[in-house]
Structure 1
């Protein structure tokens, strides 16, 4: 079985199923429920491999008369084998992406759900830094930046969701004359939560274009 679903598609599927569950809990009109179910199936079916037994069982599970939150969570879990996980990088691979960082704080791999990660992000609170590893132009790149300790309610530049965000700033260009340019934006403080909310990779690409070092 070859995984075919991206992490951001998995997040989208999760959000669609959650919306369906919320509809069942808040709407009594069976006609409206049927419409939302039909829309959900229409949105999800193209993302799922049609020759997989897991897909057939998942869609049948979604179609039951009243889908509870617990049942939905169990259904979503069945799709995990079909999701392309974020690669688990070795210490050497990580350090190669952050060559200028002398003492790189590594992510806690044991706490990460790789099937939920479109990008990898972790905080170094002691140094007020944040590190990102993300796909950019068909390769993984590493970005380090200053991460403000102040958290505000705002729009994340990566997942485009309102939540707890902090200002991320990276050095994007140096002139060689002792001056440098910094660029950044507000992003989710919790990268795991950000990934769960990320359903479109384009804002992530735009953010990386802004904050990556320029030659």
Structure 2
């Protein structure tokens, strides 16, 4: 589990095919003291396991599923990546709960530089847009962000210069792909509601089921 607060940047130092997957070697800009082989590290938001570790360099194995679903399948040697080590129970939760399981990819559609912020518009598939709500949370390349506006499969976020300088967000250009992880709470709520609408064959007792009528009666909607 992660917070979406990026610790620092790294660079892809090597990419080696491993069957249908790949092993990637990453050089971190910051000290990895306290990190051990087997620890989880989010690379552009994707939760990966450190399989080797030496000084500021570590390697991870990337599965075919992660390559297909995330920007890691298109990444090249030398590219910069966001890095965050896994959350400890004693840590402050400054962002939001991020699982490190990428839902899909979006595209940077537009960016506007204002006096004290950068407003960025991302386009996402409808399958991801359904989980976007204004003032809700989203992780873009692993960075915890607040959604300012969402409509027609796009959403806006405002980035302060500090965040842009410490993450890959400041390096991205219009047309660049990004990893998207939607808020896990919304996905769980949908699963409970949709699942309760489709009882098992032969089920006649609705007691204990959660549906829209139950949520309305209980004051949730």
Q: Shared topology, TM-score over 0.5?
A: no
Q: Which has the higher contact order (CA 8 A, sep 6+)?
A: 2
Please give the TM-score of this superposition, normalised by the length of structure 2: 0.29
TM-score by length of 1: 0.29
**As a proportion of its length, which structure holds more strand?**
2
